Amino acid sequence: MDHVATEPLSRMTFRSLASALGVSTYSFVYHFGSRQEMIDAILEEGVRQQTESLRAVDVAAFDREQFRDWYKEAFRHSLRESNRTGLRLQFEAGTLEPIDPDIGKRITTSFTQWRDTVKAWLKAQGIESRRAGVLAHWMVDSAAGLHFGFLISGDRSATVQAFDVFLGAFLREAFGD
């Protein structure tokens, strides 16, 4: 991921990436087959980094305290310096998905997975489906906005503090506590 940190997806080519890695362009063409497959592999790694917190976890079974603690940890994990490039690439790819068929729909799918996870948890807590959908939308979109702010500011501490305030407000709104 470090090798793609300085190049936008829209300009990424076999030649530019092979040059950055010090390998032949032929090796990249042989390995990936197409630019789309190369970009897909790069985005897959970015999505993998951002969804590690969802793997092997039954979020819907969490009580409120477990959910709060899990989401706080997942959000902090997403802000690790090693995830920053993947996060940037996801924002770039997310904006390109509607107009560049080489990008695919991986980011939309990942984003939807987060929303579905939060919605399923809310429904398991007794929240009506339509309201759970609205609240899940608010939660995941707000986390994405904080991610974007982090990419711009680089201020992890302020981003974490803002998320913690938001998470408290979210839980109060969801449950009237």
* Sequence ranges of the domains in the chain: 2-175
> Which tens digit of pLDDT belongs to each residue from 1-38?
555 656 666 666 677 766 766 777 777 777 777 777 77
What lies within 8 Å, CB to CB, of 82 at 6+ separation is: 1, 49
| Alpha carbon distance 96, 129 (integer Å) | 31
How many C-beta atoms surround the C-beta of residue 161 within 10 A? 11
Residue 109: predicted pLDDT: 87
What is the DSSP-derived secondary structure letter of residue 108? H
Place of tokens 């010090």: 22
Q: Give pTM, 2 decimals.
A: 0.80
Of 115, 124, 116, 137, the C-alpha closest to 62 is 124
> Which tens digit of pLDDT belongs to each residue from 86-104?
888 888 888 888 888 777 7
| CATH architecture of the domain with range 2-175 | Orthogonal Bundle (1.10)
Average pLDDT, the chain: 85
